[in-house]
Structures are given as C-alpha cells and as structure tokens.
Amino acid sequence: MKLSGMSFFQMASQRMRWLGARQDVVAQNIANADTPGYKARDVGAFSQMVNDTRSPAGLAVTNAGHIQGSSKSTAPVRVEEDATAWEAGLDGNNVTLEQQTIKSAEVSENYRLAADLYRKGHDLVTLAVTGIR
C-alpha cells in the first residue's frame, strides 16, 4: 500500500506543494516591492491545479481510456499576474506590502493545517493497523 495512492494523502501533499509555491510567489513579490515596473503575481487557484489533468508533456487527458503521461501529483502550479493588487505606484509597481503580508500569513496557516491533517491521517492509519494509540 502506498500512502500517496490514498486520495487523502495525495490531496494533503498536493495542497502543501501548492501552498509552498504560493508562498514562493509572495516572497518574490515582497523582494521586488521596490522594483520599478514589477507587477505583483499570484498562483492559480488550488482547485484549478487539482483539476488540471494535463501531463507535464503537455498532452491533455480527455478520455478515460487515454494513458496519462505521469501521475496527477506533478501538475504544475500556474503563476499569473495578480489581478487583485490593491494599488499601483507611479513607477508601475503594484505590490502592496500589507496585502502580501496578509497573504503570507494565510498561506502559512493553511500549510500548518495541511501538515497537521497529513499527520492525523498517518495516526489513523497507524491506529487501524496496530490498534495502539
């Protein structure tokens, strides 16, 4: 039995991967908060990543009979320009530190949640197998 084969663990690790990538993008925004012409970025929604059945080779799976290039867990996280940026400065930079800080805190909390869920799932599996808490 593979842990990654169970949808719960797969979902949790995908969620952590997505949150990691999102935090990376937020870090880039903050580092470039004073770079002229830099536009704030964000990643695509998590649901979009989960539903993205496109394999890394670029072949879409449109039929159940199609062979998937590789597992879904390697679906790329899309980085796009952030349309919800609060304001733009005179130099064309639209990064707002406050907005990015809020985002970063949100991501960090969600990451902890996902990690704790993963651990809880692991505990449940252990309990089911050994009967010892």
Partner 1 sequence: MDSLKSILSVAASGMRAQGERLKVVSENVANAASSGSTPGADPYQRKVISFAEMVDRDSGASMVEVADITRDTTEFELRYDPSHPAADPDGFVKVSNVQTVMEMSNMREASRSYEANLNMFETARRMRSSLLDLLK
Give the residues lining the site for partner 1 (CB under 8 A): 16-17, 19-21, 23-24, 26-28, 30-38, 97, 100-101, 104-105, 107-108, 111-112, 115-116, 118-119, 122
The residues near 43 (Cβ < 8 Å, ≥ 6 apart) are 18, 21, 22, 25, 49, 77, 78, 79, 80
Nearer to partner 1, 59 or 105 (CB): 105
**Minimum separation from the CB atom of position 61 to partner 1 (A):** 25
Q: Report in angstroms how near the CB of residue 40 gets to partner 1 at its nearest.
A: 11
Closest CA to 30 of 41, 20, 19, 45: 41
Nearer to partner 1, 4 or 60 (CB): 4
